[in-house]
Amino acid sequence: MCAHVLVAEDDEKQAELIRRSLLAEGHSATVVHDGAAALEAARSLRPDLVVLDLMLPVLDGFAVCRALRGGADPEIPVVMLTARAAEDDLLLGLELGADDYMTKPYSPRELMARIRTVLRRSGRGVATRDEDPVVRAGGISVDPVRHEVRCDGATVDCTPAEFQILLAMAAEPERVFTRRQLLQCTRGFDRASTERAVDVHIMNLRRKIETDPRHPVRLLTVFGVGYKLSGTRP
């Protein structure tokens, strides 16, 4: 299923994590950071689904959902994100027409699964048999559907945090990621980690995908910045 998803999330790091996860699933994404921009984008772009944070500035998620349900496309699927666990808030969101919700902190993998379910149920997006969800870079392939990693054709066993880091880097080969950006990829799987824990994840990944982990040619250090995954096969 390939869909255009509107992400309305004021936390830029969370929004970027959702955007990368959507791209890895084969979707396209538009990101906005306040409720007014979300309404404008929904009206002009007519997305297949909206990922909607409740705590948005200008207009909160409740107001946005209410306006969407009274707009030109009242059946547009909405997945709400909330830091509130109060039952009244969740019930109000569902009463306003949200198709599903997730309480923060959440697993990006679970969010993608919820989005797939809502898209299938709504009939939105474009189903294509030829679509390949696997992300490839420099001899590394990461399959977000089967949750599999291969290096030069050989299966690589990864922890959930390692998988999310590798998925993000393979989706954008040669991009330099800071430790903080890579740490954000592990949220929901490795909540107790610090930025320095990313170094441990990278070290472990090198043991698994490098011929000589002491002299890496795939997963490279960019001194003073962070790490990048080479897009060229060694």
- Over the stretch 51-70, which tens digit does the pLDDT of each residue have? 999 889 999 999 999 999 88
Rounded Cα–Cα distance for residues 121 and 127 (Å): 13
CA distances from 173 to 69, 152, 167 (A): 39, 16, 10
Model-level pTM greater than 0.85?
Answer: no
Rounded Cα–Cα distance for residues 102 and 125 (Å): 21
Question: Does 123 or 155 have the greater pLDDT score?
Answer: 155
Backbone angle region of 194, left / alpha / beta, with phi > 0 → left and psi within -120 to 50 → alpha? beta
Q: Which amino acid is at 82?
A: T
Question: Does 158 or 188 have the greater pLDDT score?
Answer: 158
Half-sphere exposure of 123 (CA within 13 A, CB side): 1
What percentage of residues in the chain have a pLDDT greater than 90?
Answer: 41
Q: What's the confidence (pLDDT) of residue 28?
A: 87
| For residues 4-30, average pLDDT | 91
What percentage of residues in the chain have a pLDDT greater than 70?
Answer: 88
CB atoms within 10 A of CB 159: 14
